[in-house]
Amino acid sequence: MTETVARPGVTGELVYAENKSGLERRYVVQAVMAPLVLVVLLAFLGPASSALAAVLIFPALIAFFWAVVSVLGVIAIWPVGIRVDSAGIRIGGVQAWERRQLSGRWPPRKPFHVGSQGRAVFTCPWPGVRELYLVGSRAEIMPLVRRKRAFRRGTQQLGAPLGWLGFARAGLVIVNDPALAGSDPAAFRPNRRWPGHVRGVASPTWVVPTRHPEALRAALARAAGAPAVHDQLPPADRFSFSP
């Protein structure tokens, strides 16, 4: 799609817009089914005999954790979207950001939690976008996931790369120049966990899911100033998660 952008904070011609870019049907189905399964098991567990209760308690615990993980996963991925325009690329909670800018309810009263960074908006102009990779499977992205895990282990699990917004069936990897890239809001509250606080680390590697990889690829090819989109990731040691 192409249109003239009149929304605040956007300076170029809009080439591509995708809302809920990581919200695949399977995630929604799980987020609905898991609590239902838990409710059914609890309904049987209440009046059940002690022998039957002993059998049902383990499936109920599994259903409980399944429900928690599924619902929290959908909540985390729900706001994430993509905007491609002639000035650069924008990922994160772009739809709510546009709406709240227009209604005067931005910036938020409190910085976002590191764990809810998908609600923030990460922007990089084309001069700051060094490389783009459109990855089409989890197997392809796993070396990069392991690289990210190694980075986190190196920080004793207390450093979380900002701009890693999840991965669905496909995702766009954006290698950026942190000196030109930024986020709105710029500050994030740390996650509280034992034995310390998980803090956000400005990262030159961003990842955003997409449900329409071919449409996104075509849009990036039309965007003036955008680098070429590669299909294959290079070795994972080429990527960094700190400036």
In this prediction the pTM is 0.86
How are beta strands 112-113 and 129-135 bridged, if at all?
A: unpaired
Specify the pLDDT at position 2: 38
Could you list the pLDDT tens digit for every one of the 243 residues in the chain? 433 333 444 567 899 999 999 988 888 888 888 888 888 888 877 776 666 667 778 888 888 888 888 888 888 889 999 999 999 999 999 999 999 988 888 888 888 889 899 999 999 999 999 999 999 998 999 999 999 999 999 998 899 999 999 988 899 999 999 999 999 999 998 887 766 788 999 999 999 999 999 999 999 999 989 999 999 999 999 999 988
Nearest-angstrom CA–CA distance, 222 and 103 = 31
84: number of Cβ within 10 Å:
24
Nearest-angstrom CA–CA distance, 91 and 121 = 6
Specify the pLDDT at position 195: 67
Is-contact 143 236, C-beta < 8 A? yes
Specify the pLDDT at position 30: 84
Q: How far is CA 58 from CA 30, 31, 38, 42, in A?
A: 19, 20, 11, 11
CA 204 to the chain's CA centroid: 15
Nearest-angstrom CA–CA distance, 170 and 229 = 14
Q: What sign results for the dihedral spanned by CA atoms 130, 135, 140, 146?
A: positive
- Peptide bond preceding 227: is omega within 30 degrees of 0, i.e. cis? no
Q: Which residues lie across from 18 on neighbouring strands?
A: 82
